[in-house]
Amino acid sequence: MFGFEEVAGMSVVEEKRGGFLTEVLQALITAGILAFIIRTFLITPFYIPSRSMEPTLYPGDRILVNRLAYRFGEPQRGDVLVFRYPLDPSRDYIKRVIAVGGDTIEARQNRIYVNGQALEESYVPPGVVYNDFGPIKVPPNTYFMMGDNRNISADSRVWGPLERKLIIGKAVFIFWPLNRLGFIK
């Protein structure tokens, strides 16, 4: 009369209650496993603590890093990477790829030259002044990394080319603060 049925001595309502708790527990376990897999192997959030990548990234920005970006390909000039700091692999750093293995890089009069060609670097803030260096031949399977805010960036000019094995992934998206929401160029 009220929609309750007896099934083998147990009402359908009681059976669903036990099923509900089991479903919630299964959903929580599944969500936890998926979150672990996504964060460990696919996409990881990172926090930007310094000004070395201004104006592309600012202190306090929170970004998403694609960990799969280089499983099947190589970083390209201009990509922004998160990697383990070569002098202390327990710390993560973020910088831009300026030159790849086999390239020759040098700086003259506040311009970067790769293989003799001046780079067009719209991401470098105006008024940046830095010392000349090079030419430096970038070894195979390494990358010459520089911060966009060259005046205050500790980068490959300090610790040398970055080894491929230290790369965590490609910085792809700013998700916080909301007024900066968007893809990283």
Report d(CA 37, CA 35) in Å as an integer.
6
Mean pLDDT, the chain, whole residue set: 86
Return the closest-CA partner of residue 156 out of 145, 169, 140, 147. 145
- Catalytic: 52? yes
CB-facing half-sphere around the CA of 174: CA atoms within 13 A: 19
φ, ψ of residue 110 to 5 degrees: the values are: 65, 30
Binning pLDDT at 50, 70 and 90, where does residue 106 land? very high
pLDDT at 54 over 80: yes
Name the catalytic one among 11, 16, 50, 52. 52
**Contacts within 8 Å (CB) and 24+ apart, 140-144:** 140/101, 140/102, 141/101, 142/101, 143/75, 143/81, 143/97, 143/99, 143/100, 143/101, 143/167, 144/97, 144/98, 144/99, 144/100, 144/103, 144/105
Q: Is the pTM of this model over 0.85?
A: no
Residue 34 has pLDDT above 70, yes or no: no
Position 1 scores a pLDDT of 46
The residues spanned by each domain of the chain are 6-41, 48-183
pLDDT exceeds cutoff 70 at 182: yes
Is the pLDDT assigned to residue 9 strictly greater than 90? no
In the structure, what pLDDT confidence band is assigned to residue 48 with cuts at 50, 70 and 90? very high
156 given a catalytic annotation: no
Residue with the larger pLDDT of the pair 27 and 93: 93
Q: What is the pLDDT of residues 151-181, one digit of tens each?
A: 889 999 999 999 999 999 999 999 999 899 8
Given the residues 16, 90, 95, 137, the one annotated as active site: 95
Torsion of the alpha carbons at 71, 77, 79 and 85, rounded to the nearest 10? 80
pLDDT of residue 6: 53
Per cent of the chain over pLDDT 70 is: 84
Pick the CATH number of 48-183 from 3.40.50.1980, 2.40.50.140, 2.10.109.10, 2.40.160.20: 2.10.109.10
